[in-house]
Amino acid sequence: MNTKIMGKPINEIKERIASVENSLMEIKYGDGLNITFPGEKTSIPERMQSNKVPGVSISVINNHEVEWAKSFGVTDVRSGNIITTETLFEAASTSKALTAAAVLHLVEKKLFDLDGGVNGKLMTWKIPDNQYTEEAKISLRHLLTHTSGINRPDGGFDTEKEKTPTLNQVLNGEPPAVNHPVEVLTYPGKKHDYSNFGYIIIQKLIEDVSGTSFPAIMKKIIFTPLEMNNSTFNYLSRELQKNATVPHDENGEAKEPGLHPTAYAHGGLLTTPSDLGKYVVELMSAYNGKSSRILSSSMVGKMLTPEVNLNPKDWRFWGGLTGQGLGIFVIERDREVFFTHPGVNMPGATCNLIGCAETGQGAVIMTNGINGGLLSLEILFSIAQEYEWSLWEKSA
């Protein structure tokens, strides 16, 4: 285990860490959003073993700063290499929250607008028009809020062995890409339907207009200003791979990473909970008018305002999401409103980012096992109990 404490009274924080670590309880959902606990309290390592999750890394945000970070387990069950707080994990779809911030930064720089048709900005590839786009053109707002009507696509993304498709080939579903092509399946703005393709199109938009690769533009806009020194979209770097976890399946067996070599924006981020914690703190600070390193207070306010209302019962596995903002989800509960973005990458990685701009509380939990989603919620609930968040209804 590896622990990092950020300038707080060490004994006090150690007590809080021990409480979080040893107060996990198996979660069972009751009626509605009620959570029940059928068993006794247990520890993070014990729940990791039960869930066959080899590695977990956590950062906790309190009083608008990262208060502590701690890691557990190994990067790979075959090597047994110990995870530290600097070990890289796959952020999976949590990557979209950072992609959204980068493109909104460019909106504030007047390179894009939220509501104009994106085909007018795309240069070497266009969203295929059909009867659904005759009524309304697909905008950046549609892409950010998963209301574009574009397919997911079902079956995910893959490539022919040892071949790297261009981004255009991915979008067109052409070899060596192995995926369905982009298709508009319903009227833009009419339906919320989660789509990875929407964010790959945002990547294409950013690269076309900036003339810069997506990993490079993300480093310039997000990572460097926030000193996120352990974050990258360039997962192919051998040096970085040495300090990264590998995914593990439902049986806890190590697998080859499934990260795409070309399409990054929807789920290709490698990072640490401490680095993602810096991003959470920046959104909080900007929202409260205390920072503008990436986005203005006004833009963060728009980002965290629901554009689409969601039924929390349909999303309760992720804490009961109630709204979709610009690239991020919202959970409205009692006196607190949290922003969040979960993520799952096949064959075996999970991530969950959550924060409350008003209270300055939050957390990031990353795992290298496909069973890590429920474990992350158990850890998150333990953090919420220790730090007195009013995030979920609960029953004994």
392 belongs to a structural domain: no
Measured distance CA(213)–CA(280) in Å, rounded: 24
* pLDDT of residue 65 exceeding 60: yes
Measured distance CA(192)–CA(58) in Å, rounded: 31
Which residues does 387 contact at the CB level (< 8 Å), separation at least 6? 16, 60, 62, 361
Measured distance CA(47)–CA(279) in Å, rounded: 28
Are residues 233 and 258 both part of a single domain? yes
CATH of the domain at 304: 3.40.710.10
- Report helix, strand or coil for 40: coil
Crossing angle between the packed helical segments 372-386 and 44-51, to the nearest 10 degrees: 160
Are residues 135 and 210 both part of a single domain? yes
Query: What's the domain count of the chain?
Result: 2
256 belongs to a structural domain: yes
29 belongs to a structural domain: yes
Are residues 179 and 257 both part of a single domain? no
* pLDDT of residue 12 exceeding 70: yes
- 317-374 pLDDT, tens per residue? 888 999 999 999 999 977 788 999 999 999 999 999 999 999 999 999 999 999 999 9
Give me the pLDDT at residue 9, please. 77
Are residues 121 and 88 both part of a single domain? no
Domain boundary among 214, 239, 264: 214
Side chain identity at residue 278, one-letter code = K
% of the chain residues with pLDDT over 70: 95
Are residues 91 and 106 both part of a single domain? no
Domain boundary among 214, 249, 275: 214
Strand partners, 316: none
Are residues 369 and 297 both part of a single domain? yes
Range of the domain at 166: 102-214
CB 164 within 8 A of CB 261: yes
* pLDDT of residue 185 exceeding 50: yes
Measured distance CA(88)–CA(368) in Å, rounded: 10
Are residues 124 and 206 both part of a single domain? yes
CB 176 within 8 A of CB 164: yes
- 100-158 pLDDT, tens per residue? 999 999 999 999 999 999 999 999 999 999 999 998 999 999 999 999 999 988 778 89
- Report helix, strand or coil for 155: coil
- Could you identify the residue written with the tokens 């810096």? 278
Kind and range of the H or E run holding 350: strand 349-356
Domain boundary among 184, 214, 244: 214
396 belongs to a structural domain: no
pTM, two decimals, is 0.96
CB 105 within 8 A of CB 294: yes
Give me the pLDDT at residue 132, please. 96
308 belongs to a structural domain: yes
